[in-house]
Structure 1
Amino acid sequence: MGHATGGATALDSPVQYLKGVGPRRAEAFERLGVRTVRDLLWHLPRRYEDRRRFSPVRLLSHGAAALVSGRVTGASTERRRGLVITRVLLVDDSGSAHLTWYNQPYMVKRFPVGTHLVAYGKVERRFGAVQILNPECEVVTGNDLAGMGRIVPIYPLTEGLSQQVVRNVLFSLMELTAKMPDPLPAGVRERCALVDLPVALRDIHFPETWDACDAARRRLVFEELFRVQLRLAARKVAAASRPGIAFRVGEEILAEIGEMLPFELTPAQARVLEEIRADMEAPQPMHRLLQGDVGSGKTAVAAAVALAAVRNGYQAALMAPTEILAEQHFLNLERLFRPRGVMVDLLTGSGGERDRDAVRNRLRAGATDLVVGTHALIQEDVGFSRLGLVIVDEQHRFGVLQRQSLWEKGHGAIVPDLLVMTATPIPRTLALTLYGDLDLSVIDQLPPGRQPITTQWFAATDRDLVFEFLRDQLREGRQAYYVCPLIEESDALYAEAAVAKAEMLRQLFPERRIGLLHGRMKTAERAATMEAFRAGEIDLLTATTVIEVGVDVPNATVMVIEDADRFGLAQLHQLRGRVGRGTHRSFCLLITDPRSNPDVPGLGDGQSLSDGQRRMKVMVETTDGFQIAEEDLEIRGPGEVYGTRQHGFEAMGQLRVANVLRNARELEEARAVALEIIEADPELRHPDHAGLRRALAEAECAAAVVVG
């Protein structure tokens, strides 16, 4: 392949045609997501081994991870209590160590006597003998261009590829990287003390020193985050350039908001409302993310903002991700707005076509002041007379394009104000990555009088203790939720499980009124059940996760969650947030398999807690939503937690080096530089910004492919 140009043509060539690859290895590379030379250059090491010096076997410490080099002098396999134990004897100048594997007898053939090996793993010393458990091993041959006498990269592999093959192919590409153009302007590199791209790619793969490796990683981290921030900054500046509505939110409207709400706003709510008011009075469209933990009172703020829009002669729309949440919002808002002569409508996928038509007609005619709905609001046949405010609840469940579809239903060239809300706590660094085109407001205070929630873990074998506790609480006049084990595969099966669980609870508590709520019930039936629970006509509500958000019953003080280790942390935190809303002490009881006991270390691999244990431990130890969110990110990663790939945040899927939690400083720096550049040169027309313009165009293309 011609490397001379170092341009896009060479980078976009298939890896198959590189020396040492060929069709079969190209298939293996494809399994790793590597199709082109560019992909291969960004297939980064997962760790490194310093093969400039090895640990002598004689000096290895018990419990430490060590890197050793030597020759194989023998091997043995024995069976013990159902286990096949394979040992390969490795000898260096100072002594010998057994490389030990369980149930992998083929290791004997893989490493015959005389093989020169490098091994990395955890050391065990017992009675003077040394063994390295389940080590990663590599055969040393004279053909390895970059495998000895240096800091050596260790790559993610798949069947059909070895470290040596991947390393050699990449080593031969280093000449190409030297000719690659750098998309970051020289001014940005100097200001942020970053090495240029050719140096970064060379030193991330084959560093001469650890400092060079760190500098390369820092440069690549910055560039990744900078690309994301550049897109967001461009989106933000473009939105701000469109004509918006300068609402008038004077003392009269503020006084009416005070009269409408049945309680006084907390200082945090009042501060956030003032931030939103300033946005609404500005002539540019508002783009704001309102973040608040479970129960912090975001709905009250949304109601206040909607009233301000309506009193200015505009319509407001609130979009929620599920029908039950839309129904809850509708009931709460109608209760507040009806006495004030404000017309509130509900539009979801349920209900008769005639009812939906009537709502759509009222919206187009301007008879509806505030509409609450689901995805049904963004359908083509939904139009507004004078839409001035769009509120999107539980934003992370919608895509960027979905929120945009509703936002673009404004009248003519006038763009409505946009307020997106989430109760899923998002660490600041991640909020800047997912929602960097929005201004951020945080309600960081719960309403007064809220009782702390005590969370306890129970083994499934101790269910009787949970039932006894439930009996006591119900006897005292409290109410409770009982959440069924999660069945993700089928809504129908989940609904059936809830029906069976409700029947079981009726037999256990014959003297109590047991209710049932699941996603396959009709809208009217669900609303009637929730109203009965709120009115105290149901003592114990058996439910699926439809109660995860938006349900507010102050007298409910117990939340029981079965098979709690099947749920994600954010979801558990949301469910727990259904209680603790009144003046009585509240409890969240987590029932799981005994193996998820948070107090027993080493049930996973003998060393660390399993994911289920970690989740239970965090839930028992804290009710801080932000701490829970950070732990959830550590366990599952942002793509899983926030569903970023399917919701238009494809930039998150492209973060191969950066970690939004660990690289907070680089993220802040990248954001500041990106905003500065876009504000000064919105279309990146300056010659120094040609590389950035290309990178931005590529990112937009990638986004279109993902969303499509």
Structure 2
Amino acid sequence: MASLYKMPLSSLSGIGPKRVEQFNKLGVNSVGELITFYPRAYEDWSNVTKIADISQSGVYCVKAILAAPISDRRVSGGMIISKGAVYDDTGSLQLIFFNNRYISSMLTYGIEYFFYGKIEFNDYGVQMTSPTFSQIGEAGIHPIYRQTAGLNGKTIANAVRQSLKLLPPVVNDPIPEQVRKAFNLWGLREALNGIHFPKNSEELENSRKRLVTEELVVLNLGMKNLRNHSRGVSSVKIENDYSEEFEDHLPFTLTNAQKRAIADCVDDIKEKSAPMNRLVQGDVGSGKTAVAASVCYTVIKNGFQAAFMAPTEILARQHFETFKKLLQDTGIKVELLTGALKESEKKRVRAELQSGEIDLIIGTHALITDKTEFNNLGVAVTDEQHRFGVAQRAKLLSKGKNPHLLVMSATPIPRTLGLIIFGDLDISIIDELPPSRKPVKTVLFNTSQRQRVFGFIKKEIAAGRQAYIVCPLVEEGELDDVVSAEEYAAELMLKQFSDIPVGVVHGQMKSDEKEAVMSKFASGELKLLVATTVIEVGVDVPNASVMVIENAERFGLSQLHQLRGRVGRGSTQSYCVLISDHHNEQTKQRLEVMCSTNDGFKIADEDLRMRGPGDFFGSRQHGLPQLAIADFADTKSLELSQKIVDYILFTYKDLRCDELKLLNAEINRLFDRGGKNTLN
């Protein structure tokens, strides 16, 4: 039988060209893809509530008879409002539908139905708005699918039913039977039937467990494959370890966590024939730069060059100054290369880089242009990994002969998630701060206390320090209760801080405009910076001691933690003030987490638990394949999938063996390499 992924949707009954087009809009292009078009939610029609027992608003399923034909009424603007009443043996309630011109022909007077939807109490009594419904006999758990114009849930469900009947009696299963038995996982055929049309909640749970686990196992193994096959053998031969010599040169003592991270890197570059692919992950202020400097020092002392790429001009300049201080009196020549340099200066730097005169180059994207050539690049370091795409990283690495790669990130990721997100990188975690760093004190205020906060900012500025105020949006009117950065900054300049130099930066400004304002703040010319989250990863201003975050409830915990990390970089005590009037239970709980800990990894775990992975990566910045059913916030499934991956690697040794042929096909399909599919 031909693969169901190659079978067109038009082969299903009732699916003509127009229907095919509608399914295509949902990303469904074949029968196989329809089978893996999983429901986005479910309605439980097995739990029926008597009308008289409904005492408060909420979502309910009632079994009731339509008391009279549905009546339609057209109101101003052309909207159609349809109303009807239903009853059971305990009471009655009103139904209301909006703009459903067919509803009066879909519901028949005197017939008993299941109605599932939101019930509210108003002046007219009990009302259920736009419920889904079905005649008696269809109780149980009902799938809810993503829809598009002209393609409703019932049509999708009917097409899925037809597709499932095309599955062969024995479906080729990518997870070997031995693995399924070891971890109590259902077979693929029963899981596919159960995920779409479960008979009960237990069947749904078992089906979901099986399919979610498979998807995460496939993703996990695929990421490991990327690492295992990355870039072949390095020609950068490191004979000697100079990390102790570097440490003796420093005017401060490294933390144990920094020493461990350096040792991990040195082991990679000395012991392995393959190039290092390592992520050094640590909170703001944990000393990642010193780790990078130590690794660069060892590579340079072995006769190679090092490159450090930062995402912005101002960060590159700050790193340039830092590296110059860390490496002074070592004989190592450090230079800067950015787009803002004069052409004559860029030409000189590039010539010295090509000749090998420059040992360490700090720069922006200027490092990866065709004009920039190295003499013998040994290690490439990228700062804030999520700001660089894989292609940019690869371009920098192509400047040498399989040089080593060191990636730095100040975004703490929970371990279970990190194993997958950074599956192509080995991970070192710096989980302690230098003793000189004072934890930032974090407090939660409401808007009525804002003047008190302004008074505190003035006091800190009078003492010679600086402050940030962060707003979530730029333009006025997008959300009435959310402060606009530009409007807010203008008001502060005119009123509370009329005697203090105030700057404003936001995402809609041009890069050079933002950098100009940030440079003025970094130099101390501006005392107060009003900004959006463009400063989340930005300037290092040790003199800044106050971070005020307006509408704090609008940010994820990880974002709040990154913003807080802009202060606390000097020797004085720093403060973070969260301002919010939204104190529902979940918001209160999230903001209290911020006030109770400065540990970025604890915050990351809480953020993942409460809000999912979006806050870590924004709009799919992590660049992973799109998942159909798994959820990165499901830590239980993440941990189970990791155990299964470990079991598979231990049991089968070679991922290319016959028993894992179908699993490899799924890896290929997920990573868009055109591998065979398993629904045969």
Please indicate the TM-score interval, normalised by the length of the shorter structure: 0.7 to 0.9
Alpha-carbon distance in structure 1 between the residues aligned to 2:605 and 2:131 = 31
- Give 1:394 shift: 0.9
Partner in structure 2 of residue 605 of structure 1: none
Structure 2 residue corresponding to 1:695, chosen from 666, 669, 678: 666
Q: Secondary structure at the match of 1:455?
A: strand
User: Of 260, 279, 283, which residue of structure 1 is paired with 2:268?
Assistant: 279
Contact 1:63 1:124 survives alignment (8 Å): yes
Distance 1:138 1:16, change over 3 A: farther
The CA distance in 1 between the partners of 2:418 and 2:66, in whole Å, is 52
C-alpha distance after superposition, 1:580-618 (max 9, x if no partner): 233433222345xxxx523256xxxxxx76xxx887565
Q: Are 2:29 and 1:32 aligned?
A: no
Structure 2 letter corresponding to 1:205: H
Amino acid in the other structure paired with 1:478: R
1:292 aligned onto 2:282:
yes
Q: Aligned match of 1:465 in 432, 441, 452?
A: 452
Instruction: Tell me how far 1:348 sits from its aligned partner.
Output: 2.5
| 2:135 alignment partner in structure 1 | 140
Task: Find the partner of 1:438 among 421, 425, 448.
Answer: 425
1:96 aligns with 2:91: yes
Tell me the equivalent position of 1:671: 645
| Structure 2 match to 1:14 | 8
Going from structure 1 to structure 2, the CA distance change for 1:485 and 1:431 (only over 3 Å counts) comes to closer
Shift of 1:197: 1.7
Q: 2:221 aligns with which of 216, 219, 230?
A: 230
SS in 2 for 1:446: coil
Partner residue, 2:479: none
Counterpart in the other structure of 1:493: none
CA offset digits 1:536-585 (Å, max 9, x no partner): x6543455655433533333211234555665543332221111233433
Higher mean Cα deviation, 633-642 or 27-36?
633-642
Cα deviation code 1:93-127 (max 9, x no counterpart): x3234255597797974646335432224566899
Q: Which residue of 2 aligns with 1:576?
A: 564
CA deviation profile, 1:247-297 (whole Å, cap 9, x unmatched): 3454x541332323x321222222222222322321332221111122222
Q: CA deviation at 1:687?
A: 2.8
Which residue in 2 is equivalent to 1:557?
545
Q: CA deviation at 1:352?
A: 2.8
CA RMSD of aligned residues (A): 4.0
Q: Distance in 2 between matches of 1:23 and 1:637?
A: 38
Equivalent residues in 2 for 1:380-395 (5 A)?
380-395=370-385
Describe the superposition over 1:597-653 as per-residue Cα deviations: whole angstroms up to 9, x where unpaired. 23256xxxxxx76xxx8875654565442344345556765356414645532x2x2
Q: In the alignment, which of 499, 505, 509 is matched to residue 493 of structure 2?
A: 505
Structure 1 residue runs of 5 or longer lacking an equivalent are 142-146, 490-495, 602-607
Kindly indicate whether the alpha-carbon contact (under 8 Å) linking 1:257 and 1:307 is maintained by their aligned counterparts in 2.
Answer: no
Q: How far apart in 2 are the matches of 1:428 and 1:217?
A: 23
Instruction: Report how far residue 162 of structure 1 moved.
Output: 3.2
Kindly state the Cα deviation for residue 422 of structure 1 after the two structures are TM-superposed. Answer: 0.9
2:447 is aligned with 1:454: no
Over residues 119-154 of structure 1, what are the superposed CA-to-partner deviations in whole Å (9 max), with x where a residue is unaligned? 224566899x9846546322338xxxxx71544333
Q: Is the CA contact (8 Å cut-off) linking 2:485 and 2:504 kept in structure 1? A: no
* 2:336 is aligned with 1:346: yes
1:661 aligns with 2:642: no
Shift of 1:336: 1.9
CA distance in 1, matches of 2:518, 2:62: 67
Structure 2 residue identity aligned to 1:308: T
Structure 2 counterparts to residues 583-622 of structure 1, below 5 A: 583-591=571-579, 597-600=581-584, 619-620=594-595, 622=597
Where 1:198 maps in the other structure, the secondary structure is helix
Secondary structure of 1:338's counterpart equals coil
Within the candidate set 219, 223, 230, 2:210 is matched to 219
Task: Tell me if the contact between 1:455 and 1:590 (Cα under 8 Å) persists in the aligned partners.
Answer: yes
Q: 1:429 to 1:530 in 2, by over 3 A?
A: same
CA change 1:337–1:386 in 2 (3 A) is: same
Distance 1:563-1:66 versus aligned 2 partners, 3 A rule: closer
Secondary structure at 2:154 match in 1: helix
One-letter code aligned to 2:253: E
The alpha-carbon distance between structure 1 residues 207 and 49, as it changes in their structure 2 partners (threshold 3 A), is same
Query: Displacement, 1:158?
Result: 3.3
TM-score (normalizing by structure 1): 0.81
When structure 1 is superposed on structure 2, of 36-45 and 269-278 the one drifting more is 269-278
CA distance in 2, matches of 1:59, 1:398: 57
| Structure 2 counterpart of 1:114, one-letter code | G
Shift of 1:41: 0.7
- Give the Cα separation in 2 of the matches to 1:78 and 1:459: 46
Cα 1:393/1:124, change in 2 over 3 Å:
same
In structure 2, list runs of 5 or more residues that go unmatched: 477-483, 676-680
Instruction: Pick the aligned partner of 2:600 from 616, 619, 625.
Output: 625
Task: Output one character per residue of 1:385-433: Cα deviation in whole Å (capped at 9) or x when no partner.
Answer: 111112111112222232222223223xxx2222111111111122112
Q: Partner residue of 1:492?
A: none
In structure 2, do the counterparts of structure 1 residues 569 and 86 end up closer, same or farther at CA, with 3 Å as the change threshold?
farther
Deviations, residues 482-503 of structure 1 (Å, cap 9, x unaligned): 44664399xxxxxx97699379
Distance 1:149 1:452, change over 3 A: same
Give the Cα–Cα distance (whole angstroms) in 1 for the partners of residues 266 and 668 of structure 2. 35
Q: Residues 368 and 396 of structure 2 are in contact (CA less than 8 Å); yes or no, is this contact kept in structure 1?
A: yes
Q: Give the superposition deviation at 1:361.
A: 1.9
Q: Is the 8 A contact 2:474 2:486 kept in 1?
A: no
Alpha-carbon distance change, 86 to 20 in structure 1, aligned in 2, over 3 angstroms = closer
Report the residue type matching 2:601 in the other structure. F
Q: Identity across aligned pairs (percent)?
A: 39
Deviation per CA, 1:320-350, whole angstroms, max 9, x where unpaired?
A: 2222222221221122223322211222232
Q: CA deviation at 1:201?
A: 0.9
Letter in 1 for 2:65: R
Report the TM-score when normalising by structure 2.
Answer: 0.84
Query: Which letter does structure 1 place at the counterpart of 2:260?
Result: R
2:477 aligned with 1:487, yes or no? Answer: no
